[in-house]
Structure 1
Amino acid sequence: MAQESEFDMGAAVTRSMLGWGVVAGPFYLVVGLILALTREGFDFARHPLSALMLGDGGWMQITNLALSGVMVLVAGVGMVRAGARGAGIGVGIYGGAMVASAIFPPDPMPGFPPGQDGATTMSISGILHFAFGGIGFVAFAVAALLFGGWLARHGESGRAAWSRVAGVVILVGFVGGAALGPAGMGGLWLAVVAGFAWLLLASLRLYRVVPHPVVARR
Protein backbone atom coordinates (compact mmCIF):
# COMPACT_ATOMS: atom_id res chain seq x y z
CA MET A 1 0.00 0.00 0.00
CA ALA A 2 1.47 3.34 -1.03
CA GLN A 3 2.23 5.84 1.69
CA GLU A 4 0.45 9.15 1.71
CA SER A 5 2.39 12.36 2.33
CA GLU A 6 1.64 15.63 4.04
CA PHE A 7 3.08 19.01 3.12
CA ASP A 8 4.28 21.26 5.95
CA MET A 9 3.83 24.77 4.57
CA GLY A 10 5.50 26.38 7.59
CA ALA A 11 8.67 24.33 7.16
CA ALA A 12 8.74 25.09 3.43
CA VAL A 13 8.46 28.83 4.06
CA THR A 14 11.18 28.77 6.72
CA ARG A 15 13.55 26.85 4.46
CA SER A 16 12.87 29.25 1.62
CA MET A 17 13.64 32.22 3.88
CA LEU A 18 16.92 30.68 5.02
CA GLY A 19 17.82 30.15 1.38
CA TRP A 20 17.98 33.92 0.93
CA GLY A 21 20.70 33.98 3.59
CA VAL A 22 22.78 31.82 1.27
CA VAL A 23 22.08 33.96 -1.78
CA ALA A 24 22.34 37.49 -0.29
CA GLY A 25 26.11 37.72 0.20
CA PRO A 26 27.23 36.33 -3.18
CA PHE A 27 24.60 38.45 -4.93
CA TYR A 28 25.69 41.67 -3.21
CA LEU A 29 29.41 41.07 -3.64
CA VAL A 30 29.31 39.85 -7.25
CA VAL A 31 27.10 42.72 -8.42
CA GLY A 32 29.14 45.21 -6.39
CA LEU A 33 32.45 43.94 -7.77
CA ILE A 34 31.17 44.10 -11.35
CA LEU A 35 30.10 47.70 -10.81
CA ALA A 36 33.39 48.56 -9.09
CA LEU A 37 35.41 47.16 -11.99
CA THR A 38 33.38 49.04 -14.57
CA ARG A 39 33.00 52.44 -12.88
CA GLU A 40 35.71 54.97 -13.66
CA GLY A 41 37.65 56.24 -10.67
CA PHE A 42 36.69 53.53 -8.18
CA ASP A 43 39.66 52.36 -6.10
CA PHE A 44 39.28 49.24 -3.95
CA ALA A 45 41.99 50.51 -1.60
CA ARG A 46 40.24 53.84 -0.97
CA HIS A 47 36.51 53.39 -1.55
CA PRO A 48 33.81 51.15 -0.04
CA LEU A 49 31.16 49.64 -2.28
CA SER A 50 28.67 52.18 -0.95
CA ALA A 51 30.58 54.88 -2.84
CA LEU A 52 29.18 53.34 -6.03
CA MET A 53 25.82 54.84 -5.05
CA LEU A 54 27.20 58.21 -6.17
CA GLY A 55 27.41 59.71 -9.65
CA ASP A 56 26.12 58.40 -12.96
CA GLY A 57 24.95 54.84 -12.61
CA GLY A 58 24.66 55.12 -8.84
CA TRP A 59 21.12 53.76 -9.01
CA MET A 60 22.55 50.31 -9.78
CA GLN A 61 24.40 50.06 -6.46
CA ILE A 62 21.44 51.58 -4.64
CA THR A 63 19.28 48.80 -6.10
CA ASN A 64 21.92 46.20 -5.25
CA LEU A 65 22.11 47.38 -1.64
CA ALA A 66 18.33 47.55 -1.20
CA LEU A 67 17.63 44.15 -2.76
CA SER A 68 20.42 42.50 -0.78
CA GLY A 69 19.09 44.12 2.38
CA VAL A 70 15.63 42.66 1.75
CA MET A 71 17.20 39.22 1.26
CA VAL A 72 19.11 39.53 4.55
CA LEU A 73 15.98 40.72 6.35
CA VAL A 74 14.00 37.72 5.09
CA ALA A 75 16.84 35.39 6.15
CA GLY A 76 16.70 36.93 9.62
CA VAL A 77 13.01 36.10 9.89
CA GLY A 78 13.82 32.58 8.76
CA MET A 79 16.44 32.24 11.49
CA VAL A 80 13.89 33.31 14.11
CA ARG A 81 11.41 30.76 12.76
CA ALA A 82 14.12 28.07 12.88
CA GLY A 83 14.73 28.69 16.59
CA ALA A 84 17.75 31.01 16.60
CA ARG A 85 15.75 34.02 17.78
CA GLY A 86 18.53 36.32 18.98
CA ALA A 87 20.72 35.77 15.95
CA GLY A 88 17.74 36.15 13.64
CA ILE A 89 16.76 39.49 15.15
CA GLY A 90 20.33 40.76 14.74
CA VAL A 91 20.42 39.65 11.12
CA GLY A 92 17.04 41.25 10.50
CA ILE A 93 18.28 44.55 11.92
CA TYR A 94 21.31 44.38 9.62
CA GLY A 95 19.06 43.78 6.61
CA GLY A 96 16.83 46.69 7.58
CA ALA A 97 19.88 48.90 8.04
CA MET A 98 21.06 47.98 4.54
CA VAL A 99 17.73 49.06 3.08
CA ALA A 100 17.83 52.31 5.07
CA SER A 101 21.41 52.97 3.93
CA ALA A 102 20.25 52.57 0.34
CA ILE A 103 17.81 55.44 0.86
CA PHE A 104 20.53 57.82 2.08
CA PRO A 105 23.66 57.87 -0.12
CA PRO A 106 27.07 58.65 1.42
CA ASP A 107 28.94 61.88 0.74
CA PRO A 108 31.43 62.14 -2.15
CA MET A 109 34.86 60.72 -1.38
CA PRO A 110 38.32 61.75 -2.56
CA GLY A 111 38.57 60.52 -6.14
CA PHE A 112 35.01 59.25 -6.43
CA PRO A 113 32.94 60.22 -8.26
CA PRO A 114 35.78 61.17 -10.63
CA GLY A 115 37.05 64.69 -10.05
CA GLN A 116 35.76 64.91 -6.49
CA ASP A 117 38.03 65.99 -3.63
CA GLY A 118 35.62 64.61 -1.05
CA ALA A 119 33.07 66.41 1.12
CA THR A 120 34.49 68.83 3.67
CA THR A 121 31.46 68.50 5.95
CA MET A 122 29.04 65.59 6.25
CA SER A 123 25.55 66.08 4.87
CA ILE A 124 22.42 64.80 6.59
CA SER A 125 22.28 61.99 4.05
CA GLY A 126 25.92 61.10 4.71
CA ILE A 127 25.40 61.09 8.48
CA LEU A 128 22.34 58.85 8.21
CA HIS A 129 24.13 56.49 5.82
CA PHE A 130 27.00 56.12 8.28
CA ALA A 131 24.65 55.78 11.26
CA PHE A 132 22.58 53.03 9.68
CA GLY A 133 25.77 51.29 8.63
CA GLY A 134 27.05 51.40 12.20
CA ILE A 135 23.80 50.06 13.62
CA GLY A 136 23.75 47.31 11.02
CA PHE A 137 27.31 46.09 11.52
CA VAL A 138 26.99 46.07 15.31
CA ALA A 139 23.75 44.07 15.03
CA PHE A 140 25.42 41.69 12.56
CA ALA A 141 28.34 41.12 14.93
CA VAL A 142 26.00 40.52 17.87
CA ALA A 143 24.02 38.06 15.74
CA ALA A 144 27.16 36.02 15.09
CA LEU A 145 28.05 36.03 18.78
CA LEU A 146 24.54 34.95 19.78
CA PHE A 147 24.54 32.22 17.16
CA GLY A 148 27.78 30.99 18.69
CA GLY A 149 25.86 30.56 21.94
CA TRP A 150 23.07 28.71 20.12
CA LEU A 151 25.61 26.33 18.58
CA ALA A 152 27.30 25.78 21.94
CA ARG A 153 23.96 24.85 23.51
CA HIS A 154 23.55 22.25 20.79
CA GLY A 155 26.94 20.71 21.58
CA GLU A 156 28.76 22.17 18.56
CA SER A 157 31.73 23.82 20.26
CA GLY A 158 33.83 24.00 17.09
CA ARG A 159 31.16 25.77 15.07
CA ALA A 160 30.39 27.97 18.07
CA ALA A 161 33.99 29.16 18.09
CA TRP A 162 34.04 30.14 14.43
CA SER A 163 30.74 31.97 14.79
CA ARG A 164 32.09 33.99 17.70
CA VAL A 165 35.33 34.72 15.85
CA ALA A 166 33.25 35.93 12.88
CA GLY A 167 31.35 38.27 15.20
CA VAL A 168 34.58 39.78 16.52
CA VAL A 169 36.00 40.15 13.00
CA ILE A 170 32.85 41.93 11.81
CA LEU A 171 32.89 44.36 14.72
CA VAL A 172 36.63 45.07 14.74
CA GLY A 173 36.75 45.38 10.95
CA PHE A 174 33.95 47.91 10.85
CA VAL A 175 35.12 49.98 13.84
CA GLY A 176 38.71 50.00 12.60
CA GLY A 177 37.69 50.89 9.07
CA ALA A 178 35.38 53.67 10.21
CA ALA A 179 37.99 55.12 12.56
CA LEU A 180 40.90 55.02 10.11
CA GLY A 181 39.06 56.27 7.04
CA PRO A 182 40.70 55.36 3.69
CA ALA A 183 43.61 53.76 5.55
CA GLY A 184 41.21 51.30 7.16
CA MET A 185 39.36 50.30 4.00
CA GLY A 186 40.73 46.78 4.30
CA GLY A 187 38.92 46.44 7.62
CA LEU A 188 35.59 47.39 6.07
CA TRP A 189 36.06 44.91 3.25
CA LEU A 190 36.94 42.23 5.79
CA ALA A 191 33.83 43.00 7.85
CA VAL A 192 31.57 42.74 4.80
CA VAL A 193 33.08 39.51 3.46
CA ALA A 194 33.30 37.84 6.89
CA GLY A 195 29.73 38.86 7.68
CA PHE A 196 28.22 37.45 4.52
CA ALA A 197 30.34 34.28 4.77
CA TRP A 198 29.02 33.78 8.31
CA LEU A 199 25.43 34.39 7.19
CA LEU A 200 25.78 31.81 4.43
CA LEU A 201 27.14 29.13 6.79
CA ALA A 202 24.66 29.95 9.57
CA SER A 203 21.74 29.77 7.14
CA LEU A 204 22.92 26.38 5.87
CA ARG A 205 23.28 25.10 9.44
CA LEU A 206 19.76 26.19 10.39
CA TYR A 207 18.37 24.81 7.14
CA ARG A 208 19.21 21.34 8.48
CA VAL A 209 17.23 22.02 11.67
CA VAL A 210 13.98 22.65 9.81
CA PRO A 211 12.13 19.42 8.95
CA HIS A 212 11.61 18.53 5.31
CA PRO A 213 8.23 19.95 4.27
CA VAL A 214 7.07 16.68 2.72
CA VAL A 215 6.34 14.19 5.51
CA ALA A 216 5.32 10.61 4.84
CA ARG A 217 2.14 9.53 6.61
CA ARG A 218 1.35 5.89 7.35
Structure 2
Amino acid sequence: MRNRRRSCVRDRRRTQILTRDGFDLSRHPISLLSNGTLGWLQILNFTLTGIALIAFAVGVRRAIEGERSGKWGPRLLFVFGSGFVVGGLFRADPEHGFPIGTPDGPPAEVSWHGIVHGIGPAVAFTAFYIVCFVFAKRFWAEGSRVFAVVSGVVGAGLLVLLANPSTDGIGVRMAIGVAVAFAWTSALGVRLLRSTPVTAA
Protein backbone atom coordinates (compact mmCIF):
# COMPACT_ATOMS: atom_id res chain seq x y z
CA MET A 1 0.00 0.00 0.00
CA ARG A 2 2.83 2.38 0.87
CA ASN A 3 4.59 1.63 -2.41
CA ARG A 4 1.39 2.40 -4.30
CA ARG A 5 1.07 5.76 -2.55
CA ARG A 6 4.70 6.63 -3.29
CA SER A 7 4.21 5.70 -6.95
CA CYS A 8 1.12 7.91 -7.10
CA VAL A 9 3.06 10.87 -5.69
CA ARG A 10 5.84 10.42 -8.27
CA ASP A 11 3.29 10.24 -11.09
CA ARG A 12 1.61 13.44 -9.90
CA ARG A 13 4.92 15.29 -9.74
CA ARG A 14 5.78 14.27 -13.32
CA THR A 15 2.39 15.27 -14.70
CA GLN A 16 1.64 18.42 -12.71
CA ILE A 17 2.11 20.64 -15.74
CA LEU A 18 -0.56 18.71 -17.63
CA THR A 19 -2.96 17.97 -14.79
CA ARG A 20 -3.07 20.98 -12.49
CA ASP A 21 -6.38 22.76 -13.11
CA GLY A 22 -5.88 26.25 -14.50
CA PHE A 23 -2.17 25.87 -15.24
CA ASP A 24 -1.15 26.89 -18.76
CA LEU A 25 2.53 26.57 -19.62
CA SER A 26 2.21 29.21 -22.33
CA ARG A 27 1.14 31.77 -19.69
CA HIS A 28 2.50 30.50 -16.39
CA PRO A 29 6.10 29.87 -15.31
CA ILE A 30 6.70 26.44 -13.77
CA SER A 31 7.42 28.03 -10.39
CA LEU A 32 3.72 28.88 -9.98
CA LEU A 33 3.14 25.16 -9.39
CA SER A 34 4.59 25.79 -5.91
CA ASN A 35 1.21 27.25 -4.99
CA GLY A 36 -1.96 25.36 -4.12
CA THR A 37 -2.60 22.06 -2.37
CA LEU A 38 0.00 20.18 -4.44
CA GLY A 39 2.52 23.00 -4.28
CA TRP A 40 4.76 20.99 -1.95
CA LEU A 41 5.60 18.69 -4.86
CA GLN A 42 7.15 21.51 -6.89
CA ILE A 43 8.86 22.93 -3.81
CA LEU A 44 10.42 19.50 -3.20
CA ASN A 45 11.29 19.21 -6.89
CA PHE A 46 13.16 22.54 -6.95
CA THR A 47 14.93 21.89 -3.64
CA LEU A 48 16.14 18.37 -4.42
CA THR A 49 17.25 19.45 -7.90
CA GLY A 50 19.30 22.25 -6.36
CA ILE A 51 20.89 19.92 -3.82
CA ALA A 52 21.80 17.48 -6.61
CA LEU A 53 23.41 20.30 -8.60
CA ILE A 54 25.39 21.44 -5.56
CA ALA A 55 26.64 17.87 -5.09
CA PHE A 56 27.57 17.86 -8.78
CA ALA A 57 29.54 21.08 -8.29
CA VAL A 58 31.49 19.46 -5.45
CA GLY A 59 32.27 16.49 -7.68
CA VAL A 60 33.43 18.74 -10.51
CA ARG A 61 35.71 20.63 -8.12
CA ARG A 62 37.33 17.38 -6.99
CA ALA A 63 37.74 16.21 -10.58
CA ILE A 64 39.41 19.33 -12.01
CA GLU A 65 40.87 21.08 -8.97
CA GLY A 66 44.10 22.83 -9.94
CA GLU A 67 43.28 22.66 -13.65
CA ARG A 68 41.89 25.22 -16.09
CA SER A 69 38.35 26.20 -14.98
CA GLY A 70 38.96 24.28 -11.75
CA LYS A 71 38.18 27.30 -9.59
CA TRP A 72 35.34 29.20 -11.23
CA GLY A 73 33.64 26.28 -12.94
CA PRO A 74 32.60 24.54 -9.70
CA ARG A 75 31.80 27.84 -7.99
CA LEU A 76 29.41 28.86 -10.76
CA LEU A 77 27.79 25.41 -10.76
CA PHE A 78 27.33 25.76 -7.00
CA VAL A 79 25.54 29.09 -7.53
CA PHE A 80 23.42 27.47 -10.25
CA GLY A 81 22.27 24.76 -7.84
CA SER A 82 21.79 27.18 -4.95
CA GLY A 83 19.39 29.22 -7.08
CA PHE A 84 17.11 26.20 -7.40
CA VAL A 85 17.16 25.67 -3.64
CA VAL A 86 16.21 29.31 -3.12
CA GLY A 87 13.48 28.98 -5.75
CA GLY A 88 12.09 26.02 -3.86
CA LEU A 89 12.27 27.38 -0.33
CA PHE A 90 10.78 30.76 -1.24
CA ARG A 91 7.49 30.41 -3.09
CA ALA A 92 6.45 32.51 -6.09
CA ASP A 93 3.37 34.70 -5.71
CA PRO A 94 0.15 33.49 -7.37
CA GLU A 95 -0.57 35.42 -10.57
CA HIS A 96 -2.28 35.36 -13.96
CA GLY A 97 -5.21 33.30 -12.70
CA PHE A 98 -3.21 30.50 -11.09
CA PRO A 99 -4.10 28.86 -8.79
CA ILE A 100 -7.76 29.07 -9.80
CA GLY A 101 -9.38 32.06 -8.12
CA THR A 102 -6.27 34.25 -8.41
CA PRO A 103 -6.96 37.52 -10.28
CA ASP A 104 -5.65 37.66 -13.82
CA GLY A 105 -2.46 39.65 -14.34
CA PRO A 106 0.56 40.17 -12.09
CA PRO A 107 0.10 40.37 -8.31
CA ALA A 108 -0.99 43.75 -6.99
CA GLU A 109 1.79 43.60 -4.43
CA VAL A 110 4.82 41.31 -4.54
CA SER A 111 5.57 39.56 -1.24
CA TRP A 112 9.04 39.35 0.26
CA HIS A 113 9.25 35.63 -0.52
CA GLY A 114 8.13 36.35 -4.09
CA ILE A 115 10.99 38.83 -4.45
CA VAL A 116 13.52 36.32 -3.11
CA HIS A 117 12.10 33.64 -5.38
CA GLY A 118 12.59 35.86 -8.41
CA ILE A 119 16.19 36.63 -7.46
CA GLY A 120 17.18 32.97 -6.98
CA PRO A 121 16.56 31.67 -10.52
CA ALA A 122 17.84 34.90 -12.07
CA VAL A 123 21.17 34.56 -10.27
CA ALA A 124 21.24 30.81 -10.97
CA PHE A 125 20.89 31.16 -14.73
CA THR A 126 23.29 34.10 -14.87
CA ALA A 127 25.84 31.77 -13.30
CA PHE A 128 24.89 29.09 -15.81
CA TYR A 129 25.46 31.35 -18.84
CA ILE A 130 28.90 32.21 -17.52
CA VAL A 131 29.88 28.64 -16.64
CA CYS A 132 29.08 27.56 -20.20
CA PHE A 133 31.65 30.07 -21.48
CA VAL A 134 34.14 29.09 -18.78
CA PHE A 135 34.04 25.45 -19.89
CA ALA A 136 33.93 26.42 -23.56
CA LYS A 137 37.28 28.12 -23.03
CA ARG A 138 38.62 25.07 -21.19
CA PHE A 139 37.60 22.58 -23.86
CA TRP A 140 38.77 24.80 -26.71
CA ALA A 141 42.22 24.96 -25.11
CA GLU A 142 42.19 21.16 -24.74
CA GLY A 143 41.34 20.72 -28.40
CA SER A 144 37.79 19.51 -27.75
CA ARG A 145 36.41 21.97 -30.27
CA VAL A 146 32.97 20.37 -30.70
CA PHE A 147 32.15 20.43 -26.98
CA ALA A 148 33.62 23.93 -26.72
CA VAL A 149 31.36 25.23 -29.50
CA VAL A 150 28.31 23.44 -28.07
CA SER A 151 29.00 24.96 -24.64
CA GLY A 152 29.27 28.45 -26.11
CA VAL A 153 26.11 28.02 -28.17
CA VAL A 154 24.16 26.72 -25.17
CA GLY A 155 25.27 29.63 -23.00
CA ALA A 156 24.55 32.29 -25.64
CA GLY A 157 21.32 30.62 -26.77
CA LEU A 158 19.83 30.39 -23.28
CA LEU A 159 20.88 33.95 -22.54
CA VAL A 160 18.88 35.15 -25.56
CA LEU A 161 15.97 32.82 -24.76
CA LEU A 162 15.58 33.57 -21.06
CA ALA A 163 16.80 37.16 -20.79
CA ASN A 164 13.92 38.30 -22.99
CA PRO A 165 11.81 40.55 -20.71
CA SER A 166 8.56 39.63 -22.49
CA THR A 167 6.20 37.41 -20.49
CA ASP A 168 4.73 35.87 -23.66
CA GLY A 169 5.39 32.15 -23.60
CA ILE A 170 7.54 32.53 -20.49
CA GLY A 171 6.61 29.08 -19.19
CA VAL A 172 7.54 27.36 -22.44
CA ARG A 173 10.82 29.29 -22.70
CA MET A 174 11.75 28.44 -19.13
CA ALA A 175 10.90 24.77 -19.61
CA ILE A 176 13.09 24.63 -22.72
CA GLY A 177 15.86 26.51 -20.93
CA VAL A 178 15.84 24.15 -17.94
CA ALA A 179 15.80 21.06 -20.18
CA VAL A 180 18.75 22.32 -22.25
CA ALA A 181 20.69 23.38 -19.14
CA PHE A 182 20.28 19.96 -17.53
CA ALA A 183 21.21 18.19 -20.76
CA TRP A 184 24.41 20.24 -20.99
CA THR A 185 25.19 19.65 -17.31
CA SER A 186 24.75 15.90 -17.77
CA ALA A 187 26.99 15.95 -20.85
CA LEU A 188 29.60 17.91 -18.90
CA GLY A 189 29.56 15.31 -16.14
CA VAL A 190 30.03 12.47 -18.61
CA ARG A 191 32.81 14.38 -20.42
CA LEU A 192 34.72 15.06 -17.21
CA LEU A 193 34.18 11.53 -15.92
CA ARG A 194 35.69 10.04 -19.07
CA SER A 195 38.67 12.39 -18.99
CA THR A 196 39.45 11.99 -15.28
CA PRO A 197 41.97 9.24 -14.51
CA VAL A 198 40.87 6.64 -11.97
CA THR A 199 43.30 6.22 -9.08
CA ALA A 200 43.51 3.13 -6.94
CA ALA A 201 42.28 3.47 -3.37
The alpha carbon displacement at 1:109 in A equals: 1.7
Percent identity between the two aligned chains: 30
Alignment correspondent of 1:143: 131
Q: Is the 8 A contact 1:142 1:167 kept in 2?
A: yes
Point out where structure 1 has 5 or more consecutive residues left out of the alignment. 1-29
The yes-or-no answer on 1:104 pairing with 2:90 is yes
Normalising by structure 2, we get a TM-score of 0.84
Q: What amino acid maps onto 2:63 in structure 1?
A: A
Alignment correspondent of 1:47: 28
Point out where structure 2 has 5 or more consecutive residues left out of the alignment. 1-10
Alignment correspondent of 2:161: 173
Q: Bigger shift: 35-44 or 156-165?
A: 35-44
Please give the alpha-carbon distance, in whole angstroms, between the structure 1 residues aligned to 2:133 and 2:173.
19
Q: What amino acid maps onto 2:44 in structure 1?
A: T
Offset from partner CA, 1:130-149 (integer Å, 9 cap, x none) = 11111000001111111111
The alpha carbon displacement at 1:31 in A equals: 7.5
Normalising by structure 1, we get a TM-score of 0.78
Match of 1:126 among 96, 102, 114: 114
- Over 3 Å counting, the alpha-carbon distance change for 1:180 and 1:33 in structure 2 is farther
Please give the alpha-carbon distance, in whole angstroms, between the structure 1 residues aligned to 2:161 and 2:179.
10
Q: Bigger shift: 43-52 or 83-92?
A: 83-92
Offset from partner CA, 1:25-75 (integer Å, 9 cap, x none) = xxxxx9754221221111111112111100111011100110010001111
- The size of the alignment, in residue pairs, is 184
Q: Is the 8 A contact 1:31 1:64 kept in 2?
A: no
The alpha carbon displacement at 1:97 in A equals: 1.2
The alpha carbon displacement at 1:183 in A equals: 3.9
Q: What amino acid maps onto 1:201 in structure 2?
A: A
Q: What amino acid maps onto 2:193 in structure 1?
A: Y
Q: What amino acid maps onto 1:96 in structure 2?
A: S
The yes-or-no answer on 1:208 pairing with 2:189 is no
